[in-house]
Amino acid sequence: MPGLIRNHYYKIVSNLKILLIFILLVGISILIFGGRNEVPLFTGVSILIFGGREEIPLFAFLCINVIGFPFISSIGLRKNNVDKWNQYILSLPVKRCEIVKSVFATQGITILIGSMLSVILFLTSFVIYGFAFYRYVDVVLLFSSTIGISLIMNAIFLPSSYLDSNDRTEAMSIISLIISVAIMLGLITVINILIEKPTDMQLMIFATGNLVLAIAVFLISCSLTVSIYSKQDC
């Protein structure tokens, strides 16, 4: 499986470099301007949509990392289909379940890398400029929600990509992202309706439960995708 994961990253390395350069520029910009709404890359959007709140650049950086990396991996998956890698790898002594698990592992690793980069940027910004959020639980909720969105997105996208034979990876990625965001917003809306003024402890329980649920959905999706791919005639 490690060899399969390395191959997947070889497929996405060119696009990954572009994203890393962009992330580096955004991170430097945030550190220079202190995560305030003066950050050039976010000034217009932050003011128009969020009223220029100070935490928005950090939130945008988190989304780019945690959701952006899996998108790049999905492009790599598309390349596998285009260059007939899937047909070639089946001629090797590799089980189909290992192929699928390696794809899910790759996506999980990309989410982990994005999360770690975000943690480093957040901590560095807090040390230099102070805490940008109202409460510490807000940061936990942001990480839980973005990671949850990314996990659910992949849980929807990956089995769909194995079912689809027409190479519509980009369209399915976007649809999966929209659905996962809608699910997360729906959960948050339900919580706000049921609990008018949730305490920090209640929000922590929600964040933890949200993350556990997303991981469970991701793992169930892996088993479902293994079943789908095992029955395919390649």
Predicted local distance difference test score (pLDDT) of residue 161: 79
- For the question of whether the overall pTM of this predicted structure is more than 0.85, the answer is no
Predicted local distance difference test score (pLDDT) of residue 77: 63
Q: How far apart are CA 25 and CA 31, in angstroms?
A: 10
Q: How far apart are CA 230 and CA 207, in angstroms?
A: 35
Helix/strand/coil percent split, the chain, to 5: 80, 0, 20
Query: In three state form, how does the secondary structure of 170-185 look?
Result: HHHHHHHHHHHHHHHH
Give the mean pLDDT per block of 10 residues along the chain (234 residues). 71 69 69 52 38 58 75 65 62 78 88 86 77 77 88 90 69 85 87 81 88 94 88 67
Q: How far apart are CA 234 and CA 33, in angstroms?
A: 52
Residue 95: HSE in the Cβ half-sphere, 13 Å Cα cutoff: 6
Report the candidate in 177, 3, 20, 25 with the shortest Cα–Cα distance to residue 113. 20
Predicted local distance difference test score (pLDDT) of residue 155: 92
Provide the token pair at 58. 């950090």
Q: What is the dihedral of CA 189, 193, 197, 199, to 10 degrees?
A: -70
